């Protein structure tokens, strides 16, 4: 049963999804504290039309071209979101929802046209919706690992800058840190993480891999640095375990299993987390209730 894990291709895919999970957890932590978790969902969906348009322009399924198309489309979505927010009364979350719907609808429309064209249904572009990690070749894996590591290193090497940017933008501006530059860098690493993950887990589920690990980590610590490490750990574990389990069955999808194990981590954190977990809250409630009863008895005497 475990022989599938011993194959060279499976080990490469497992390594790539684990690194992807680490990157998603790391970048997701930035999105969490920036209160833009929905941004990852919006940009993930916004990347779909770029994938299809890149295929239509070059008439071949080349991963580098498709990733470039996805990146351009996602960045265009980010520009639209910021433009709508700055030049209208529409709130940021509403703008994100609009871009998500419009771009994803456009992507599905284009995908339908491609699939109905001669030979279009052989392109396999549907795999970008739900992901198909098992179809990745070694060059795809190396591309994913390198870009994921670059995103991780940008966060790690600029840890102090990210901390100031997220928690005290006024101080950051005062010391000469460019908020506009940090916003651009944040968008770039977020888009990079999204576009390298859409082949493995798809445009729908990559957002979940970015959102769930930091939320899970939040139940264990209040400190940004520790949360960053925990979020990366949760993302990496979800990627590795989800991929490993998906190899045990014939045709089992990798992306949904990765998100499933990320969700299991969240439920565990929700219940047992030492920072506002359900059990901790219940214990504290009972303790306060008991103290109130003792205080009432003392007053009564």
pLDDT tens-digit readout, 166-178:
999 889 888 889 9
**CA-to-CA distance for 132 and 197, rounded, in angstroms?**
10
Tokens of 291: 């103290």
Cα separation, 129 vs 262, in Å, equals 19
Instruction: Give Cα 286 distance to the centre of its chain.
Output: 37
pLDDT above 70: residue 120? no
pLDDT at 4 over 60: no
Place of tokens 């940009």: 43
The predicted-structure confidence for 198-230, as pLDDT tens digits, reads as follows 888 888 889 899 999 999 999 999 899 999 999
Q: Is there a contact between 59 and 75 (Cβ–Cβ < 8 Å)?
A: no
pLDDT greater than 60 at residue 251 = yes
Cβ atoms of 262 and 55 closer than 8 Å: no
Q: Look at residue 110 and tell me whether its pLDDT is greater than 70.
A: yes
Query: Given the structure tokens 């840190």, which residue do they identify?
Result: 177
Top pLDDT among 23 and 204 is at: 23
Q: How far apart are the first and last CA of the chain?
A: 69
Four-point Cα dihedral 274, 279, 280, 286, nearest 10 = -170
Buried b (16+ CB within 10 A) or exposed e, 101-124: eebbebbeebbeebeeeeebeebe
Q: Please write the tens of the pLDDT for every residue from 254-281.
A: 888 999 999 999 999 999 998 888 998 8
- What pLDDT is stored for residue 151 in this prediction? 94
pTM: 0.89
pLDDT tens per residue across span 65-95? 888 999 999 999 999 999 998 898 888 889 9
Residue with more model confidence, 287 or 50: 50
């Amino acid at each position: 049963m475990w022989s599938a894990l011993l194959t060279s291709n499976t080990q490469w895919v497992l390594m790539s999804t684990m690194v992807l999970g680490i990157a998603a957890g790391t970048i997701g932590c930035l999105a969490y504290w920036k209160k833009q978790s929905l941004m990852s969902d919006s940009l993930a969906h916004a990347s779909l039309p770029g994938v299809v348009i890149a295929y239509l322009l070059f008439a071949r399924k080349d991963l580098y071209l498709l990733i470039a198309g996805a990146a351009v489309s996602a960045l265009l979505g980010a520009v639209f979101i910021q433009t709508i927010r700055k030049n209208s009364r529409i709130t940021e979350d509403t703008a994100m929802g609009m871009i998500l719907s419009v771009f994803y609808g456009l992507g599905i429309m284009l995908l339908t046209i491609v699939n109905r064209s001669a030979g279009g249904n052989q392109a396999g572009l549907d795999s970008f919706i739900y992901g198909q990690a098992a179809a990745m070749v070694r060059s795809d894996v190396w591309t994913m690992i390198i870009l994921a590591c670059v995103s991780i290193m940008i966060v790690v090497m600029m840890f102090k800058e990210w901390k100031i940017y997220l928690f005290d933008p006024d101080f950051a501006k005062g010391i000469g840190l460019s908020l506009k530059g940090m916003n651009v860098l944040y968008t770039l690493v977020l888009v990079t993480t999204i576009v390298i993950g859409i082949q493995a887990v798809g445009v729908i589920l990559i957002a979940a891999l970015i959102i769930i690990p930091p939320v899970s980590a939040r139940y264990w610590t209040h400190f940004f640095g520790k949360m960053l490490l925990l979020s990366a750990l949760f993302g990496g574990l979800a990627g590795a375990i989800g991929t490993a389990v998906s190899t045990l069955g014939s045709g089992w999808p990798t992306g949904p299993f990765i998100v499933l194990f990320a969700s299991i981590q969240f439920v565990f954190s929700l219940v047992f987390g030492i920072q506002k977990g359900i059990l901790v809250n219940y214990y504290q409630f009972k303790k306060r209730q008991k103290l109130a009863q003792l205080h009432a008895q003392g007053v009564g005497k």
